[in-house]
Amino acid sequence: MSEQIPVKNVSPVKVHKPDSQDAQIRYAPRSRIYVRAVEGPLETFRRFFGLFFLAIFALLPWLQYNGHQAILLDIMEQRFTLFTLTLWPQDLTLLAYIFIVGAFALFFVTTFAGRVWCGFMCPQTTWTFIYIWFEEKIEGSRNKRMKLDERPMDVDKFWRKLLKHLAWITVALLTALTFVGYFTPIGELFVDFVTFNTSFWAGFSVIFFTVCTYGNAGWMREIMCTHMCPYARFQSAMFDKDTLTVAYNPNRGEKRGPRPRKLPHSQLAENGMGDCIDCNLCVQVCPTGIDIRNGLQYECINCGACVDACNGVMDKMNYPKGLISFTSEEELNGGTTHILRPKLIGYFVVLLVMVGLLITNLMMRIPLEVDIIRDRNSLYRETSQGLIENVYTLKILNKSQTRQTYQIEVVGLPDYTFTGQQTISVDGGEVASSPVSVATDAYNLEKAVTDIWFHVSTIDPDGEIVEVNEASKFLYR
């Protein structure tokens, strides 16, 4: 054991400590983004598109149908009313199908055209642009707002800021009242809120969503898109080289830089210049404050504001439009965008299947549900006439929106005697409880447990007959 273990000299490892200056920049508060107004066909389309769905959101809870609110998602009563359709907790599979259809529709649209949901339909984007519109009308254009914030507080600045925040709070309050109106009768909600007579949960919900809307659209804005929204993080899994996204064409735009407007477009290449004049308008109009010229970024919401801004500059310079456009990676590399591709077709097929399953479930849905509860005090008893009797409680749920009359019969038990209501009327959306007893002679029973069915059907010669067979047991011995 005299052998020694050879020792190898190792140079010390250099420890790289984080730069304190980089850390300060990394965790510094964000700079405020002053979004510049832009005009163009995409911006016009986005505005009307957003206003259209905003109008639908605001008007739907006020619609009346057959004397009741057309859309009412009553959580306390566990009843969702959608025009002629009433959904109950037992219809949870329908709600699951609706969510699945929505998810695959989002996947399909994202694979085809990127984050157009974020740029054109997302409530966060819509309300943020509404709040920015109030900023522009009250405080002025982008440059005026920047100068206003740099000024010390004076009377002019105070009343402009006060008026802006009052407008923001008003929009937030109306938004919250409308949203909560989907879950409680909206007419009563507005009256009760103004007169301070709302219930605790209704009042709390209105205040909560008012604060959320005011904070998200007024103060947080792009933070919701860049740091809090999970969709921005997993969207890349749905992208491919043929996905249409807002992109800058570096082959055409570089080398960027200022130049005289009189310089013809045909002479740019001779001077070693591209089409981009480096005006930074694409950055100034971006609601998330990114530079689209740096390539595809997860912060981009595909709103197309930079497209309109750049096309406006190209018009003024007499250059061809499309330096920034909705295009694909394949097209930027000189290829051709393939619209029909396996991934997109796959999403579309699955979407069609799920829509078909949803429609099938809606068509096969029976607006009647029956539950049978046996008497737990005694399995059976013998009557004074010598008959064997079982006692049950029938729970009949009328899942339609109109009053229905039902006929109750027993199937599977010969020569039975029925005691209780064989005809019962139930209001729409209500549950009726009916105790009944069924008796028969012991000679009719071949075994201790007999399978029977309660047959419940509607009595309405003018309408569609709805019937349900609910299984139970008839016990003896």
Q: Please report, for residues 320, 385, 405, 421, the alpha-carbon distance to residue 254 in angstroms, rounded to integers and kept in the order given.
A: 15, 102, 77, 85
Domain boundary among 236, 266, 281: 236
Q: What is the CATH number of the domain that holds 423?
A: 2.60.40.10
Helix 41-59 and helix 123-139, axial crossing angle in degrees, nearest 10: 110
Q: What CA–CA distances, in Å, run from 51 to 44, 48, 56, 59, 451?
A: 11, 5, 9, 12, 59
212 and 328 in one domain?
A: no
16 domain-assigned: no
- Domain identity same for 216 and 245: no
408, β-bridge pairs: 456
> Within a domain: residue 73?
no
Residue numbers of the chain with a pLDDT score lower than 70: 1-30, 461-463
What pLDDT, in 10s, does the model give residues 125-181?
A: 999 999 999 999 999 999 999 999 999 999 999 999 999 999 999 999 999 999 999
- 219 lies in the same domain as 247: no
Residue ranges making up the domain that contains 210 = 30-62+114-236
My answer on whether 471 and 399 are in the same domain is yes
Q: Are 45 and 182 within one domain?
A: yes
Looking at the structure, tell me whether residues 255 and 209 fall in a common domain: no
Do 219 and 268 belong to one domain? no
For 347, the token pair is 């999403």
d(CA 444, CA 453): 16
* β-pair type (324-327, 245-248): antiparallel
The last residue of one of the domains, among 332, 353, 378, is: 332
Q: How far apart are CA 330 and CA 318, in angstroms?
A: 27
Shared domain for 295 and 222, answered yes or no, is no
Domain count, the chain: 3
In a domain, 470, yes or no: yes
pLDDT tens figures, 372-406 = 998 888 888 888 888 999 999 999 998 887 888 99
The answer to whether 274 and 253 are in contact (CB under 8 A) is: yes
Report residue 126 as tokens: 């819509």
264 and 143 share one domain:
no
Same-domain pairing of 294 and 324: yes
Indicate the SS3 state at residue 79. strand
How far from the centroid of its chain's Cα atoms is residue 43's Cα?
23
Whether residue 295 sits in one domain with residue 402: no
Assigned domain for 107 exists = no
> How far, in Å, are 60, 155, 362 from residue 68 at the CA level?
13, 50, 22
* Predicted pLDDT of residue 95: 84
pLDDT for position 10: 52
Same domain as 391, residue 427: yes
Q: Please return the burial class of 120, using the count of CB atoms within 10 Å of its CB with bins 0-12, 13-18 and 19+.
A: buried
Among 184, 246, 174, smallest CA distance to 217 is for 174
d(CA 139, CA 403): 57
Last residue of a domain, one of 220, 236, 252: 236
> Is residue 68 one of the residues assigned to a domain?
no
* Residue type at 59 in one-letter notation: L
**pLDDT recorded at residue 26:** 47
Establish if 182 belongs to a structural domain.
yes
- Is residue 79 a part of any domain in this protein? no
Q: Report yes or no on 81 lying in a domain.
A: no
Q: Which of 423, 416, 409, 412 is nearest to 390 (CA)?
A: 416
